[in-house]
Amino acid sequence: MTVIDGTDLVLGRMASLVSKRLLANERIDLINAEKVIIIGDPETIFEKYRVRLTFNQKGDPEIGPKFPKMPDRIVKRAVQGMLPMKSSRGKTALKYFKAYIGKPAEFERKEIEKLDGALKHLERSYERIGNLSKKLGAKW
């Protein structure tokens, strides 16, 4: 089992690297999911996610699509988007991934890995997923 710290990781890059490792049957736990960042204008990012949440479905609203507000679920949804979910291989790979808000006590003594390929290197505007979630109305 691998524990990855999500602080200052770019969401898309992190999701693609993690999905490749999940498809190789590696179990991954991501801590500090609220500190993962999305590069772009914060107002544009918020508007994009707000529109997704207020999207009116035709037909039965219980069926979906459903978009999350919580930081750990936003990260899990991004990883899910990188996996082949129509095959059993992708469905089982997603079961090997867990995202956590903050750092749970069970990971205090474990070795924590940083994904160097997903770190933010550019000085561009960005939004942390924790701030985005709070703007969307999530409470944790």
Tell which wins on pLDDT, 58 or 15.
Answer: 15
Whose tokens are 């918020």? That residue is 46
Q: How confident is the model at residue 52 (pLDDT cuts 50, 70, 90)?
A: confident
Spell out the long-range contacts of 86-95 with Cβ–Cβ below 8 A and sequence spacing 24 or more.
Answer: 89/23, 90/23, 93/19, 93/22, 93/23, 93/25, 94/22
Percent of the chain with pLDDT over 90: 80
Which residue intervals of the chain are DSSP H helices? 11-23, 42-53, 71-81, 88-95, 129-136
- Kindly report the pTM of this predicted structure: 0.91
Q: How confident is the model at residue 121 (pLDDT cuts 50, 70, 90)?
A: confident
Q: What is the pLDDT of residue 122?
A: 75
**Residue 120 pLDDT more than 90?**
no
- Local structure of residue 65 (DSSP, 8 states): -
Give the type of residue at 101: I
The reply to whether CATH 3.90.1180.10 applies to domain 2-136 is: yes
Euclidean distance between CA atoms 72 and 75, whole angstroms: 5
Range 66-90 average pLDDT: 95
- Local structure of residue 66 (DSSP, 8 states): -
